[in-house]
Structure 1
């Protein structure tokens, strides 16, 4: 499809500009050309924001679909829902599970990637575990956590055809520092989290190649002035931090403090959403665990531990605006170019520039998603859903 998006307030190079975007096929080919072109459809974006599509690197599902249990058709349902929330690309996060169930989930994700349909693009796999700390397991199944196992990770990556792009590990778990080096060589971006590691151990893993912290401050030993721990190492270093900006996982003041400490170029907004996202309160699952959602807050039935979220990316943007009071142009990178850079996608995604994938979201002044384009195709249009 060839498209001309006209009269929009387009986010480009850190600021908004009244301009147009020309799309041919799945790519942005030009900016600023307002003339009608033969054979091009037009979208009038007058009075609307036009931004790069959001990229969610940490989500376990939505609309009744749990990634650990999902078939390919289920995953496509998640992609369509995410497109309605402004997300154009996402990584399917598999929580710690049995080897059999993990391999089955990997297969379903890969089959979906091999046969894409309209919706947010499934970009790869995130393994959250199983090489995680028992003490800081959060909503993970403790009996399935294990020490670092390089042959197992190789087995998973072989089954995935190289599509495991991201993994969360705990620095203090036996064998993890060495695993980080090997994972990096395998092309996997490593995040540290679910951890009570001391400062020195965490910093050593950062030096070994860890590039991000999973859901900062959650399932993680806190900062103390005598013992900075993993939180202190993450804040002092220049690695990225995932942030769940739902108002539950992080107090708004902590979000503001995080942005001051890390800078807006090192924070990545994620949802960590579970199958309850987009649905009402009730009983759900997250991998091997039973979950209850009350007032949108997801917790383990067993002990009340918070277990993922019901957040969406567009709500994360609205929350960031409310929490910080910052202009939109300062916050958009957290949902776009930052995750793209972290996962090595910045040549194709994350900004609006000629040559980039035509992954765009059009929002009204109230930050409601009007239209989402993925690869130059309309994946969601509010008007068509009325």
Structure 2
């Protein structure tokens, strides 16, 4: 059995400080506060020295990283991209399936996706408010990167963004890199429905790489100062974001409570995918999908079903954080 002690354990409702977590093999066996259970001779006991312990991140929308694409036909390239995101605390990830419901056959496709047991995501769309509500009525339950690649919210025509914020069934993605969304836009989304916000990266193969020219499937990308665009230099095309940076930014820069941020990075997306009984939060009986973060919220270790994965290459405090020149310490509650 492995015991992680002297940690700030972030659960769905509170931060246990000091807290402890035990897991045996792939499964969490205990969570508590104060002194950890007495160890036996063959136990692996690790003092986390006041580090944060969060559920492993669940990224609903990524395309690659470390120069590799998850759309590649080469398994080694896919593995490289996955390993990169493991190093940044993500334990479950998938590429984002997106539909524009206003196109011919759009609503029928939503129904087909839902009938097949998949999550229908609405985005890259000019759908008005009425058609957006029709798509949600047809079973769509996710909005791809809220506010990006859709009509702006208007007070007389709320559009897709307004429909998603107003519908309590809908989870909405947020790319919190300081480029895709204004800081107050992220704050408004969390204030409106913190239990439905899902932090995502929309990371391209350029994530973790120096500035330069890259390719995402059949699209050319240009990266300057960590900002990924089409060759025109203006149109955003994915990101170079990682989940740990999205979490760090939400807590330190935006002042959002870490319990809400952990839910948006893990609990809510896991629930959307039907995995909430297995992962996405720290509780006995769930998979030991965990990420250890320093007090400054940099990744120290990632566990996938109790197994260390994606060894961090060292503190990433010097990683570029586009759109955020500050690294101020805000309240963590």
Q: Deviations over 1:320-370 (max 9, x none)?
A: 124421221222111010100111110100111111000101111111111
Aligned partner of 1:348 in structure 2 is 278
Pairwise mapping of residues 348-367 of structure 1 onto structure 2 (< 5 A)?
A: 348-367=278-297
Q: Give how far 1:63 is off.
A: 0.3
- In structure 2, distance between residues paired with 1:228 and 1:383: 44
Pairwise mapping of residues 36-75 of structure 1 onto structure 2 (< 5 A)?
A: 36-75=39-78
Aligned partner of 1:7 in structure 2 is 6
Counterparts in 2 of 1:383 and 1:223: CA distance versus 1, 3 Å: closer
Alpha-carbon RMSD across the aligned residues, in angstroms, is 1.8
Q: Deviations over 1:73-117 (max 9, x none)?
A: 1111122211111111111x2xxxxxxxxxxxxxxxxxxxxxxxx
- In structure 2, distance between residues paired with 1:70 and 1:304: 30
Q: Deviations over 1:250-294 (max 9, x none)?
A: 000111111122x11011000000001011100001111111000
- In structure 1, distance between residues paired with 2:86 and 2:66: 13
8 Å CA contact 1:4, 1:23 repeated in 2 = yes
8 Å CA contact 1:56, 1:89 repeated in 2 = yes
Counterparts in 2 of 1:40 and 1:249: CA distance versus 1, 3 Å: same
- In structure 2, distance between residues paired with 1:27 and 1:171: 40
Pairwise mapping of residues 223-302 of structure 1 onto structure 2 (< 5 A)?
A: 223-238=153-168, 239-261=170-192, 263-302=193-232
Matched, 1:173 2:103: yes
- In structure 2, distance between residues paired with 1:29 and 1:340: 20
Question: Which contiguous aligned blocks of 4+ residues in structure 1 show a shift greater than 6 angstroms?
Answer: 383-386
Aligned partner of 1:200 in structure 2 is 130
2:248 is paired with a residue of what secondary structure? helix
Paired residues, number:
311
Aligned partner of 2:82 in structure 1 is 79
- In structure 1, distance between residues paired with 2:49 and 2:220: 46
8 Å CA contact 1:290, 1:301 repeated in 2 = yes
Q: Please point out which of 378, 382, 386 is paired with 2:308.
A: 378
Counterparts in 2 of 1:206 and 1:363: CA distance versus 1, 3 Å: same
Q: Give how far 1:304 is off.
A: 3.4
8 Å CA contact 2:64, 2:82 repeated in 1 = no
Using the size of structure 1 for normalisation, the TM-score is: 0.77
Question: Quick check: which one's helix share is greater?
Answer: 1
Aligned partner of 2:117 in structure 1 is 187
8 Å CA contact 1:6, 1:34 repeated in 2 = no
Q: Please point out which of 136, 140, 143 is paired with 1:210.
A: 140
Counterparts in 2 of 1:66 and 1:35: CA distance versus 1, 3 Å: same
Counterparts in 2 of 1:384 and 1:326: CA distance versus 1, 3 Å: closer
Aligned partner of 1:133 in structure 2 is none
